[in-house]
Structure 1
Amino acid sequence: MHFVEFLKRYFWPVQHTHLLWQFARREVLGRYRGSLLGLGWSFVSPLLMLAVYTFVFVGVFKARWPGSEAGGGVEFALQLMAGLMVFNLFSELASRAPQLILEQPNLVKKVIFPLEVLPWVAVLSASFHWLLNASVLCLATLAVHGALPWSAVVLPVVILSFLPFMLGLCWFLSALGVYVRDIGQMMLMVVSMGMFLSPVFYSSRALPEVLQDWMWLNPLSFVIETSRMVLLQGVWPDWWGLLVYGLGGCCAAVLGAGFFQLTRKGFADVL
């Protein structure tokens, strides 16, 4: 396969737009099929978890967010939710990716089915839930602060710079999961540890300087801190940093897609 054809097949699946829409729609609606609240759980679940985390860290540990001590527990809750909605996007995709191909053995045996769209479906579904969480956070910020900063308009751009990395990770893990079944359990541990190794419950500025440099090696740190900057602090992002991050994510996506392409021929034999 020529490189141009490879890029078009994996990164410009226009011919599969209808298929993507149908699968993504089924993915979103299927999660809540039969439940009374339906999509309402996408709002209720993060709010309940946010209430629990806020109670523990603010009510029990008396934590205060650096630079926002005057806001008390409410400000801490907003900062926490900004970190959680990014981490939940990563968590959903990283936990689900190893099972994407394993869950569809019938599609693997259909030569004409484009398996490479399955990670796209997972990313679109997770992005939809991120959008719902972001809407809730924007409304909460508006209620607490009385207004949203102009910099909040670039929040979707921040997340868009993150999606190529997640897409590449999904391609890589979905292919690897076919051959190494333990990768699913390993990713559950990675996600659990990643919640505390990422600046979700704390700001990277609260860490000693020597640890701050190491923190930026975590690909989630930049997105979490930049999301807080543009939405809660009214600070425009580091555009060069955003560009470099996005380019790095694109490189990761190409590598992930390349691994998927190299290993996909053996999927049917293993399954």
Structure 2
Amino acid sequence: MRVFSASPREMFASLWRNRELIKTSAKREVHGRYRGSVMGILWSFFNPVFMLAVYTFVFSEVFKARWSGGGESKSEFALVLFAGLIVFNIFSECINRAPGLILANSNYVKKVVYPLEILPWVTLLSALFHAAISLCVWLLAYVAFFGIPHATALYLPLIVLPFLLFVMGLSWALASLGVFLRDVSQLVGVITTVLMFLSPIFYPAAALPEDYRHLVYLNPLTPVIEQTRDVLFWGKSPEFVLMGWYWIFALAIACLGFAWFQKTRSGFADVL
């Protein structure tokens, strides 16, 4: 039985070693999603444009929603909401697909030379492509409604990078569990739906009663969503101490998830 390295060094070494394969696979996946459609990959741009227009109309005209402490701008709530959704959609797309990654690529399992550990990277890169398009739409809308974006937007990579490591750790763990426990994909779908409403996407964390506010901060998505809004929309610098702890937490989750995947992958072929 082949033993696969589960060290943190191998986690990053594999990413670098297989970078061309990951890039090619992600490109094929993105194009495959729109294959056969008349507009093709242009849908990746028009989808977020359409959704932002819907959010702006529904929340500003129908619900007359205003963000806590915000002004009276009709587009403000939609942009603040959309910023949170960009973060959540990365998480949702990767986590919902993770339990079925190995099952959907079972033909690779018995190929000793194929690096199965890159499959979550491919999904993440595809999700990041769509997130980048959504962010461009967000920035264009911000320029149209409010003018030049805040310089604090440059802090965004500092906030997103540890979040991506956290997502990868969960994806590796779920991709492995999905092979042995087929119910995992159903459970994950329910959990991500619940997390969407328990995360401060449609409301600020400060809007919760003080007795319950600490609970929302137990959600690992909360710091990323709140800090993303701060640097993009409100022009605030990130809380560096909080993000420092988040980096440590995310690295730990990534290492544990990768180690679990590497330790269990030798049993994939027996189950499949």
For this structure pair, what is the TM-score category when the shorter chain's length is used for normalisation? over 0.9
1:92 and 2:93 matched? yes
Give 1:40's aligned residue. Answer: 42
1:113 and 2:114 matched? yes
User: Does structure 2 retain, via aligned residues, the 8 Å contact 1:165–1:250?
Assistant: yes
- 1:167 CA displacement: 0.4
1:54-84 deviation line (CA, Å, top 9, x unaligned) = 444333332211121321x210110011011
After TM superposition, the structure 1 = structure 2 runs for residues 70-149 of structure 1, keeping only pairs within 5 Å, are: 70-71=72-73, 73-149=74-150
- 1:2 CA displacement: 9.2
- 1:157 CA displacement: 2.1
1:20 and 2:1 matched? no
- Quote the Cα distance in structure 1 between the aligned partners of 2:139 and 2:52: 15
After TM superposition, the structure 1 = structure 2 runs for residues 2-17 of structure 1, keeping only pairs within 5 Å, are: 6-13=7-14, 14-17=16-19
- Quote the Cα distance in structure 2 between the aligned partners of 1:202 and 1:39: 32
Q: How many percent identity over aligned positions? A: 48
Count of matched residue positions in the alignment of Structure 1 and Structure 2? 269
- Quote the Cα distance in structure 2 between the aligned partners of 1:53 and 1:181: 35
Output the amino acid matched with 1:88.
N
1:127-183 deviation line (CA, Å, top 9, x unaligned) = 111111111111111111111111011112211121000000110000000011111
3-state SS of paired residue (1:43) = helix
- 1:40 CA displacement: 1.8
User: Does structure 2 retain, via aligned residues, the 8 Å contact 1:97–1:119?
Assistant: yes
* TM-score (ref. length: structure 1): 0.94
- Quote the Cα distance in structure 2 between the aligned partners of 1:195 and 1:228: 16
Output the amino acid matched with 1:45.
N
Output the amino acid matched with 1:29.
H
Give 1:219's aligned residue. Answer: 220
Output the amino acid matched with 1:205.
A
- 1:24 CA displacement: 1.2
Output the amino acid matched with 1:174.
A
- Quote the Cα distance in structure 1 between the aligned partners of 2:7 and 2:271: 24
Output the amino acid matched with 1:179.
F
- Quote the Cα distance in structure 1 between the aligned partners of 2:89 and 2:212: 24
- Quote the Cα distance in structure 2 between the aligned partners of 1:37 and 1:220: 33
After TM superposition, the structure 1 = structure 2 runs for residues 190-205 of structure 1, keeping only pairs within 5 Å, are: 190-205=191-206
- 1:201 CA displacement: 0.8
1:206 and 2:207 matched? yes
Give 2:158's aligned residue. Answer: 157
User: Does structure 1 retain, via aligned residues, the 8 Å contact 2:179–2:271?
Assistant: yes
- 1:12 CA displacement: 2.2
- Quote the Cα distance in structure 1 between the aligned partners of 2:62 and 2:193: 22
User: Does structure 1 retain, via aligned residues, the 8 Å contact 2:4–2:263?
Assistant: no
- Quote the Cα distance in structure 2 between the aligned partners of 1:179 and 1:47: 40
3-state SS of paired residue (2:116) = coil
- Quote the Cα distance in structure 2 between the aligned partners of 1:56 and 1:198: 20
- 1:96 CA displacement: 0.6
* TM-score (ref. length: structure 2): 0.94
Give 2:233's aligned residue. Answer: 232
- 1:228 CA displacement: 0.5
User: Does structure 1 retain, via aligned residues, the 8 Å contact 2:172–2:260?
Assistant: yes
Output the amino acid matched with 1:202.
Y
Distance 1:116 1:2, change over 3 A: closer
Output the amino acid matched with 1:157.
L
- Quote the Cα distance in structure 2 between the aligned partners of 1:236 and 1:148: 13
Give 1:184's aligned residue. Answer: 185
